[in-house]
Structure 1
């Protein structure tokens, strides 16, 4: 941000005092003279002098004019303004970092949404458990799970088999199916339909592609 003109004038006058152009106890030109020197309005000069008076650099007495009170305060005023400049740099850098962080936050949210959507699809896939019974006359009766090649045919996984009310989890590949067995199946709805067709009554087993 550009400094206001009256701030610039206050800085220039303080610099002149520090450099010895105006000494302590010496009067500075009147407002009208200063207005002509800096090519600004008397109001702008009044605001510049008000800053310096507030900083203890000058004093304004009615009928006397503007008098320099402290070179040390003028020097301190200049240094404090330099610090304001540093603060402005800090603010701008902080703003840049905040903008950068917002961009990173948006990226994080974008990828988080992707991960959550993927996880939701993955979980729904693996949590979709169905029960399929080996019916009378099924071509799967007397066959082992290895022979049936259920995963190859349907893309589903047999996680357990219920026989006469007893569950056998993670059945071995040599497990032989019997009529009435209930298969606990994990997989998509389409895959479970394929398995139902595979185990259907009187249906012959397809050859895996």
Structure 2
């Protein structure tokens, strides 16, 4: 807070010079008086004056004290500080954007991992697809999938039926089976054995 305070005092004095409260060549109050005016320590005033002296706004001479040297430099000092303040705002905004981007990257990574996991599961399911043919004398000929209750009786999922070289994906419950149809199913080995008995 002390550092921020002496910067504020330097700005206030420079502003007073620009506004004509202190004129070029005019002596400013001594450090002790300024310390009382701003209610800070003399060391804080010394730092504020050092900033202004370095910027060419005031001169400090032994026995003379603090004298205003340039209104133009005071104006430049204020403009320079304002530019620094703007840069600081830009930096803070940039940091905020970067934090948001990191958060977004984290969310994207999480969704990507979910998609990869889901894809792995789907790939493993498709790798377990079995083909079971409906026999010519099968009791399943002429019956619908709903009537056969394949899922209830076997636990298998019929993902497609191949008929005459064409695949009927996701057949509905009313799909009627014909001889030589090939059912593409996903499920356990026990379920496949049970389906073969049905067909």
Shared fold (TM-score, shorter chain, > 0.5): yes
Q: Which residue of 2 aligns with 1:85?
A: 85
Which structure 2 residue ranges, 5 or more long, are not aligned?
151-155, 169-176
User: Within 2, Cα distance between the matches of 1:158 and 1:38?
Assistant: 86
Q: TM-score, normalised by structure 1?
A: 0.68
Q: Which residue of 2 aligns with 1:72?
A: 72
Question: What's the secondary structure of 2:59's corresponding residue?
Answer: strand
Q: Which residue of 1 aligns with 2:190?
A: 193
RMSD (CA atoms): 3.6
Q: CA offsets, 1:58-112, max 9 Å, x none? A: 1222333222221101011111122222223223322332333333233323322
Q: Which residue of 2 aligns with 1:142?
A: 136
Change beyond 3 A, Cα 1:109–1:171: closer
Q: Which protein has the bigger helix share?
A: 2
Change beyond 3 A, Cα 1:158–1:97: closer
Question: What's the secondary structure of 2:40's corresponding residue?
Answer: coil
Q: TM-score, normalised by structure 2?
A: 0.71
Report if the CA contact (8 A) 1:143-1:176 is conserved.
Answer: no
User: Within 1, Cα distance between the matches of 2:31 and 2:108?
Assistant: 59
Change beyond 3 A, Cα 1:155–1:80: same
Aligned length: 182
User: Within 1, Cα distance between the matches of 2:90 and 2:30?
Assistant: 38
Report if the CA contact (8 A) 2:2-2:44 is conserved.
Answer: no
User: Within 1, Cα distance between the matches of 2:125 and 2:144?
Assistant: 20
Which structure 1 residue ranges, 5 or more long, are not aligned?
135-139, 161-167, 178-182
Question: What's the secondary structure of 1:6's corresponding residue?
Answer: helix
User: Within 1, Cα distance between the matches of 2:27 and 2:78?
Assistant: 20
